[in-house]
Amino acid sequence: MSIAKEKKELRKRIQQIFQTTDPSILQAKSERLYTHLFSWSYWQQAKVVATTISTAFEINSTPIIEKGWEEGKWIAVPKVEPKQHHLHFYKIRSFRETKQQFADIYEPDPSLCSPVPPERLELMIVPGLAFDQQLFRLGFGGGFYDRFLQGKHIFLCGLALDFQLVDHLPTEPHDIPLDALITEEGIRYRENDTRHV
């Protein structure tokens, strides 16, 4: 099976689990994950946090965004430039500063928000459908984050429920592993990464 086909089938399987799992079960699992995230030193120390406004096939990011605001953090959300395959991050202070745009995803409205340069981003919660033991992620197939992250030094974190964890993902040379992965059980770091010690 080709890498592309293997990724496509895995995306479909994870999306189906999100669609068919009782919302109360998803919420309970997510609450355990949020507890680990909000007590984590990297979250507590970060003043500028990048995250997406979640879709139906992801852990709900609304509590994360609202917690960041409550703690006085800058919350930076990406806007996609599909033709250029670029991401641009903007500081949002309210969900009213967003609108449904590319692929029906809620994105910042540039007329209402301030841009955040990549070098200001301290912690980035990177979206993904599946994650493996080596902290590689399976995204949604657009390649936007892989392009954006090339040559940048931002601490990268993923969020995963139990059914999003796999032993090994098919990877390609441009794939960038995460620095940390937060699950219902706790926080995992990439092997041989000593920054958290």
Instruction: Tell me what pLDDT residue 184 has.
Output: 95
Instruction: Tell me what pLDDT residue 54 has.
Output: 92
Q: Could you report the average pLDDT of every consecutive run of 10 residues in the chain (197 residues)?
A: 84 94 95 98 97 92 98 96 87 94 86 96 96 93 86 94 94 88 95 54
Instruction: Tell me what pLDDT residue 193 has.
Output: 56
Instruction: Tell me what pLDDT residue 1 has.
Output: 65
The answer to whether residue 43 sits within a structural domain is: yes
How many domains does the chain contain in total? 1
The answer to whether residue 146 sits within a structural domain is: yes
Question: From residue 63, how far is each of 27, 100, 120, 156 by CA, in Å?
Answer: 11, 19, 22, 19
The answer to whether residue 99 sits within a structural domain is: yes
Q: Note if the pTM is more than 0.85.
A: yes
The answer to whether residue 56 sits within a structural domain is: yes
Residue 15's domain comprises: 3-189
The answer to whether residue 197 sits within a structural domain is: no
The answer to whether residue 36 sits within a structural domain is: yes
What is the spatial distance between Cα 69 and Cα 67, in angstroms, rounded to a whole number? 5
Find the helix packing angle between 23-38 and 62-70, rounded to 10°. 30
Measure the CA angle with vertex 9, ends 2 and 148; round to 5°: 80
Instruction: Tell me what pLDDT residue 197 has.
Output: 41
Q: For position 140, which CATH number holds?
A: 3.40.50.10420
The answer to whether residue 196 sits within a structural domain is: no
What is the spatial distance between Cα 89 and Cα 79, in angstroms, rounded to a whole number? 6
